Amino acid sequence: MQQGGDLHQAAALLASAGDAFALEVNRIVVSLSPVVDTVLEQLLRAWSFLAVPLLTGAVTLCMAMSVMVLAEKVFLGTVSAAANLFRSRRRRRPGKGRSARRGVDPAVLLDEEAGGGGGSAAFPMVLVQIPMYNEREVYQLSIGAACRLTWPADRLIVQVLDDSTDAAIKELVRAECEKWASCGVDVRYEARNDRAGHKAGNLTEGMRHDYARQCEFVAIFDADFQPAPEFLADTVPLLLRDPSLALVQTRWEFVNADECLLTRMQEMSMDYHFKVEQQAGSSLCSFFGYNGSAGVWRRQAIEESGGWDDRTTAEDMDLALRAALLGWEFVYVGAVKVKSELPSSLKAYRSQQHRWSCGPALLFKKMFWEILAAKEVSIWKKFYIVYDFFIARRIVSTFFTFFFFTVLLPAKLLFPQVEIPAWEMIYIPMVTTLLNSVGIPQRSLHLVVPWITFENAMALHRFKAILIGLFEAGRANEWIVTHKSGNVGRKVKSITPGDYLKQRFHGLELLMGALLLVSGCYDFLYGHGYFYLFALPQSIMYFMIGFELLGVSVCS
């Protein structure tokens, strides 16, 4: 009995101690409550005091950037239109241009350009390089297309640079090379022991062979490219005519553009790049970024420029920029098209876009002062390279597209006193979109709205890559080979919403999607504008990218 009484007494003491502790906590909270309220109130007042000037400054900055972007689009569009008009007038002249010589054997035309020696010795030696890495799906297509090029057999060398890590694939590629070699084609199979330098290192190793140094011109095709037989006949004469010409770049066309919505939207963006950006750069100052494939280089220009460099993931642009600073010129030939493949999965496309955005940013950082100090380049060309090619087209355009539409407009809803002019919010984006749509195929005009939302959403991913490149962060030199599917007729299925559990989530895209969704709903319920008409479709696209609901996956 005594023991039971002690237990009751201990329990009572604990209860009283607990009540005392709870009372003490409540007393402290009550005593601090006015202080906390005051601090929070002061913080909110400070934020409301600073937010409006900050947002006003951001609006001013975006106004300046939007004018820069619009001016760049108008300028490039005008130049490319004038170049196309001039070229079309030349074609109409009787007996002039390629149209007057159709039906003639390309070898005969090359013989004329080479001096009419009547034999293969009059033709320059051409090296065709095909770098590849575990390309099981496309190696036959690229090697076969290169071996079918119309050119004297004793003046053409096809070099297959195989960096594959899969032994079975290496044997397949080697066997394919041996098959074409037995048909009389000079095919050289080259494999390295490591992948140092990735594509740049692979191409550099290929140029070290004695037979490669005997070639005057070098044509480069990625593993998914299929040049037409007359490709060399259409490009090499341009290099023969002009000794100052270092590069002839041709246009890409895509065998799988109709595979899914993702590839259709990529085609729309790439068509603008080739029809406007590349054409304008070629016409203005004989400079543009080498696309890394479907181009023919003068070997002398490669060697004088220092060869391939793997310091960035934009080794193609790096070489082109160094060659341009030495005074070499480039020409873009849009009439010559080479079949290639677009990434059909969102994962592959994101990796490609990271490389294409991060590499140029890092290259710009490394070569900025070198560009300004170049003695062989005019001030006009330096201005074009620094301002138009790098700053306006890549950095400012990407930042404005992401920040203005995804961050600034939703933030403005909370502070209606911040005003954005109608020309900034409506007219400039509308005109810019129309200018971007110049290169869009007519069959894709109905996809303009999803394409706009897709490009706006991808601006977040690209801008993140640009920051990584400018600050040389951890992924600055990340190189992931874009996966290729090969046969377009292969059975594919769309990624359904249920498959997202197997995919990786993209947190930033999901966060931006949620922000736009909330902002759009708020504007619809309480706003006085029509921001929700943009915010809600844009939020859907962010969610589709965040959950990887775009693209296709190959059936097993």
For 479, half-sphere exposure in the C-beta direction (CA atoms, 13 angstrom radius) is: 15
Q: To 5 degrees, how large is the angle CA 501–CA 502–CA 505?
A: 65
Q: What is the mean pLDDT of each run of 10 residues along the chain (556 residues)?
A: 49 48 54 66 72 91 96 96 82 46 46 57 94 96 98 97 96 98 98 93 97 98 97 97 97 96 96 96 96 98 98 97 98 97 94 96 97 96 97 97 94 86 90 87 90 96 96 87 68 46 78 95 86 94 94 58
Among 272, 274, 371, 290, which Cα is nearest to 329's?
A: 290
pLDDT at 100: 37
Residues labelled as active-site residues: 163, 316
| Residue recorded with tokens 């909270």 | 29
pLDDT at 63: 96
- CA atoms of 79 and 277, how far apart (whole Å): 9
211: left (phi over 0), alpha (psi -120 to 50) or beta: alpha
pLDDT at 109: 54
**Cβ atoms within 10 Å, residue 421:** 11
pLDDT at 138: 95
- CA atoms of 279 and 28, how far apart (whole Å): 72
H or E, element range at 335? strand 329-340
- CA atoms of 324 and 286, how far apart (whole Å): 9
The pTM of this model reads 0.86
pLDDT at 224: 95
